[in-house]
Amino acid sequence: MKKAISFLKDVFSAILKAPAENAITRKEAFDANDNFFLILYGDLLGIPNPVSYYTLELLPYLAPEIEGWERRIQNRGSVIEEKAAQFNF
């Protein structure tokens, strides 16, 4: 009986935690993707990129995602503010 209660407790705990963990994972994936695009196509935002000639080869494959990336980057308030919000100061 103890094993069954422990099992149910683990199942309900996982069900309750899943949406929050998915949101965090999704945010981290978007951040990683945004940083990748910033390295490749920062020149679109005015950041000089000395290897932009070579990154143009990836443009046909990544073009559909650039509009969303530009929108997310422009809507950010401050990167420092976002990173500080992760910690409880």
Q: How much of the chain, in percent, has pLDDT values that exceed 90?
A: 1
20-46, pLDDT tens digit by residue? 888 888 888 888 888 888 888 888 778
DSSP character for 49? -
Q: Taking phi first (over 0 means left), then psi (-120 to 50 degrees means alpha), and beta for anything else, what does residue 4 get? A: alpha
Tokens at residue 15, please? 């069900």
pTM (whole model) above 0.85 = no
36-78, pLDDT tens digit by residue? 888 888 887 788 888 888 888 888 998 898 888 888 878 777 7
